[in-house]
Chain A
């Protein structure tokens, strides 16, 4: 598979603090990647290094096949970091023109991209008059100007209201649907879960996991059960070979599996033993639960 970004043993120290420690991973074309981690885990530093604004301490990275210089490679990349940064005294259109000049692309895409993010009718207004949501959308338009091979988003919904968050997510989904590679850094797990196929999990600058979202922890999921004969149900589960442990919380029993078992078979077994359920749900851990498990265990 064609690689877009390769990071090898990257380390960044700020004085005594090690922000990123011996980090390696590869981003391949066509996937949607998430970088997950609590605040201060080194997500933004890592992105800053590959985007040429933070100097690395050790290690290496290269864009595409490794034959282009970083700043030339960045012309084929679209990136938004934390907050939208534009010249407040210029209008949206003028700001985008400046970006076009830097990236060396024609000015003909400006209208099209403003249309995508729904700012076409405000293009002649000064950037300083924009709301945060609009600023963030303008940043996305700016990142899309060169039809990038990869779009890098660092906390794109930070500080936005629910409508703003929804708008940004819709735009990201549209872009992802067109096959653009996306790298999304976030601490909002449901955000990553909704759009990403692969994740890199960081904590304190150390990589805990990198790979597909659904393979993050080896788990067979769990059942959520309710029953009028609670004690009998608990006794049955305790003696069942497929379950590891249970948890009871205000009448809701959560039973964790250690080997695959379908809800159909389980329900049948219970019925044959005279236990009738009033509630049966089979689930896999959400990304949030997986993430917490992963960060707690290490």
Chain B
């Protein structure tokens, strides 16, 4: 396992473009969260301090930081599709196999790299959230601090699932730009199918089915936190209430997709003549 991970890390970290993108995808959310936590004086008109809104209180901070950090997953998605695309365009995938890597090992080395970077990202976000939380939070009881840390697990699973999807698209179309286009097409077609089901049946059924779609199921893991912040400000408005918690079945659905995408990538490579 470490041999395969080591292989993939060498391929990624010696490539300047992917190095920059990896750096951006980790450091940018880190800085955005850090910057938003400090007091900003907007040209002397007013001071903006998000901390005062209570968004950095435990446990809501876990929700907030993982949600914002996951918006930056797109940078690493580019790395994932290009690491497949490059192997095809340089024909190094062929050379790797000739040198004695099995097709299974090839896919696994990509998957391990994805899991590795998802894990690092999760740990980083966990650390920064904890530090900011400790600094700003009005609550510091242990049980409140660690309540809802399952958002971190959700974050990890979300990244893992999304990058596995990118891996599969990369294997499917062999070219990075097309793979990203496919991602966009999938996003649109999920909404079109959702619309069609709503039109044919009703909204309730459509939502239920939509929850099983790949991109929607990943989104469901960490829903937008704005409504929740609003809820905490206006607790009397019952129509704001929504289900923002991480549920085990949401994680199970995404893990199911992850397994399927990795398996399909392997089947695809196995069937293909290079």
Contact with A along B237-274 (1 / 0, CB 8 A): 00000000000000000000000000000000011111
Nearest chain A residue, comparing its CB with the CB of B273: A54
Question: What residues make up the interface of B, taking CB atoms closer than 8 Å to A?
Answer: 3, 6-7, 10-11, 14-16, 86, 90-92, 94-103, 105, 270-274
Chain B residues lying within 8 Å of A77, measured Cβ to Cβ, are 100
Complexed CA–CA distance, A48 and B99 (Å): 12
Is B10 a contact partner of A98 (Cβ separation < 8 A)?
yes
Chain B residues lying within 8 Å of A98, measured Cβ to Cβ, are 7, 10-11
Whether A144 is near chain B, meaning CB under 8 Å from some CB there, is: no
- Residue among B10, B91, B100 with the most chain A CB within 10 A? B100
Nearest chain A residue, comparing its CB with the CB of B92: A85
**What are 27 A-B contacts defined by CB distance under 8 Å?**
A48-B274, A52-B97, A52-B98, A52-B102, A52-B103, A53-B94, A55-B273, A69-B102, A71-B100, A71-B101, A72-B100, A74-B98, A74-B99, A75-B99, A77-B100, A81-B94, A85-B92, A86-B92, A87-B11, A94-B14, A98-B10, A101-B6, A102-B99, A102-B100, A102-B101, A104-B3, A142-B99
Complexed CA–CA distance, A83 and B95 (Å): 10
Is A87 a contact partner of B274 (Cβ separation < 8 A)?
no
Whether A90 is near chain B, meaning CB under 8 Å from some CB there, is: yes
Chain B residues lying within 8 Å of A48, measured Cβ to Cβ, are 273-274
- Residue among A14, A77, A87 with the most chain B CB within 10 A? A87
CB distance from A77 to the nearest CB of B (A): 8
Nearest chain B residue, comparing its CB with the CB of A76: B100
Is A94 a contact partner of B274 (Cβ separation < 8 A)?
no
Chain A residues lying within 8 Å of B272, measured Cβ to Cβ, are 55
Is A85 a contact partner of B6 (Cβ separation < 8 A)?
no
Choice from A90, A99, A101 contacting B3 with Cβ under 8 Å: A101
Is A90 a contact partner of B273 (Cβ separation < 8 A)?
no
- Residue among A48, A85, A103 with the most chain B CB within 10 A? A85
Q: How many A-B residue pairs have CB under 8 A?
A: 79
Chain A residues lying within 8 Å of B96, measured Cβ to Cβ, are 102
Complexed CA–CA distance, A94 and B13 (Å): 12
Contact with B along A129-164 (1 / 0, CB 8 A): 000000000000010000000000000000000000
Chain B residues lying within 8 Å of A271, measured Cβ to Cβ, are none
Question: What residues make up the interface of A, taking CB atoms closer than 8 Å to B?
Answer: 14, 48, 51-55, 69, 71-72, 74-75, 77, 79, 81, 83, 85-90, 94, 97-99, 101-104, 142
Choice from A51, A86, A90, A94 contacting B98 with Cβ under 8 Å: A51
Nearest chain A residue, comparing its CB with the CB of B10: A98
Complexed CA–CA distance, A69 and B95 (Å): 18
Is A54 a contact partner of B91 (Cβ separation < 8 A)?
no
Complexed CA–CA distance, A237 and B152 (Å): 95
Chain B residues lying within 8 Å of A99, measured Cβ to Cβ, are 99
Complexed CA–CA distance, A124 and B274 (Å): 30
Q: Beyond A48-B274, A90-B14, A104-B3: 17 further Cβ-contacts under 8 Å? A: A48-B273, A71-B97, A71-B105, A74-B100, A75-B99, A75-B100, A81-B94, A81-B98, A83-B91, A86-B90, A87-B11, A87-B15, A87-B86, A89-B16, A94-B14, A102-B7, A142-B99
Is B99 a contact partner of A54 (Cβ separation < 8 A)?
no
Choice from A54, A71, A142 contacting B274 with Cβ under 8 Å: A54
- Residue among A48, A53, A75, A101 with the most chain B CB within 10 A? A53
Is B99 a contact partner of A85 (Cβ separation < 8 A)?
no
CB distance from B130 to the nearest CB of A (A): 36
Known A-B contacts A87-B14, A87-B92; A79 and B98 likewise in contact (beta carbons under 8 Å):
yes
Chain A residues lying within 8 Å of B10, measured Cβ to Cβ, are 94, 97-98, 101
Is B97 a contact partner of A87 (Cβ separation < 8 A)?
no
CB distance from B105 to the nearest CB of A (A): 8
Known A-B contacts A86-B90, A88-B90; A55 and B271 likewise in contact (beta carbons under 8 Å):
yes
Is B99 a contact partner of A103 (Cβ separation < 8 A)?
yes
Is A89 a contact partner of B15 (Cβ separation < 8 A)?
yes
Nearest chain B residue, comparing its CB with the CB of A55: B273
Complexed CA–CA distance, A101 and B98 (Å): 13
